[in-house]
Amino acid sequence: MKYTNRFSSIRIGYTVGMALIFIIANTVLCLMNQVLMDKFICIMAINACFFFMFVLLLIRKRLEGALPEFNYITYGKITFVLLLTWIITFLCAMVAPDFFAPFIVLPIVCSTVFDNSISNALSLYLVVITSICMDYNIFIVLCYVLLVAFGNVFLS
């Protein structure tokens, strides 16, 4: 695979796919938990801000060569891992009990294609969105944030 710094139609297509994953996953998570329209609009604003930050950080890390396995991480793999993390988030939110959701798995899965900073940011974003949609109290949110931190420490 030849490494290039230009934007290609394949990368743009995968980025649009990632945007659709974010939009659909947030919408489904809100619909399953009967989130009101005002909270849904706020969640979508958070979603848009984080997605643009995520894509810009991904582009920067890719240009710096900071992603693991520099020449072998493609946008297709990144999109697949992003879909996998959303599936894990849905399983943690819907199946696992509130006091025992295994969010420690998120940074472990994210570390396969991202560095520690992107995997930490994505995992914390998923915890925050899940906490807002599920109306968790602050103690459960703190426990999930600590699980994400322990997952990142476990990988270091």
List pLDDT tens digits, range 76-117: 999 999 999 999 999 988 888 877 888 999 999 999 888 888
Helix (H) or strand (E) holding 146: helix 138-155
pLDDT value at 45 more than 70: yes
More confident call, 71 vs 31: 31
Mean pLDDT for 34-50 is: 93
Task: Give the pTM.
Answer: 0.89
Q: Is the dihedral of CA 134, 139, 142, 147 positive or negative?
A: negative
